[in-house]
Amino acid sequence: MPKSRDVRDYIRTIVDFPHEGIMFRDVTTLFADARGFRMAIDQMLHPYAGERIDKVVGLEARGFILGGAIAHQLSVGFVPIRKKGKLPGATISQEYTLEYGQAIMEIHDDAIQPGEVILLVDDLLATGGTAAAGIKLVERLGGKIISCAFVIDLPDIGGRKVLEGMGMDVHALCAYEGD
């Protein structure tokens, strides 16, 4: 009997990308495989069975792919959070810290209504900076985040602790230690 596959089996590791010493976890191979992609979406949805979710928020850019598929499965709306200057309408902005400097994320100022229940989605949780910025944007619009869902957690980098410190529930399908 063949071994059942795990989501990690679909994720490619690229050594020394984007620079030396980094083990890059590439989810594009997961997305390219129909069974792997469906498995990931189903597993990301599982913890929220029976929960009210009004909208799914995806973080640029791979969070759009996951978030769109999850929103479709839930029959709810999808809201993108993008890098500064990419959204065409009126926005609100949130600055956050990157490894080397600062960046700004934005959301349309009418994308979420006060009291809406939100699931925040991205592919990877590392430092938690991008997700924390997304959380702040959603909360500024009055949304209530039910949870933050990721395919991959890099626990040694500390992002889960950052988000949990903000009072967030965090779920990840797999973790890679030491990255």
List the CATH number of the domain containing 92. 3.40.50.2020
Instruction: Specify whether the CB–CB gap between 158 and 131 falls below 8 A.
Output: no
Is residue 26 included in any domain, yes or no? Answer: no
Is residue 4 included in any domain, yes or no? Answer: no
Instruction: Give the count of domains, the chain.
Output: 1
Cα of 138 vs its chain's centroid, Å: 13
* Residue 146 banded pLDDT, cuts 50, 70, 90: very high
Is residue 146 included in any domain, yes or no? Answer: yes
Question: Would you say residue 1 has pLDDT above 60?
Answer: no
Residue 99 catalytic? yes
Is residue 45 included in any domain, yes or no? Answer: no
* Residue 141 banded pLDDT, cuts 50, 70, 90: very high
Q: Which of 12, 20, 38, 62 is catalytic?
A: 62
Is residue 99 included in any domain, yes or no? Answer: yes
At 3 the pLDDT is 67
pLDDT in tens, 106-131: 999 999 999 999 999 999 999 999 99
Q: Which of 25, 35, 82, 99 is catalytic?
A: 99
Sheet containing strand 91-98, edge to edge, reads 91-98, 101-108, 77-83, 55-59, 117-125, 144-153, 170-175
**In the beta sheet, which residues pair with residue 162?**
none
Question: Would you say residue 62 has pLDDT above 70?
Answer: yes
Hunting for tokens 């809406």 — which residue is that? 116
Is residue 56 included in any domain, yes or no? Answer: yes
Is residue 28 included in any domain, yes or no? Answer: no
Determine the structural domain holding residue 91 and report its residue range.
Answer: 50-175
- Quote the pTM value: 0.95
Is residue 105 included in any domain, yes or no? Answer: yes
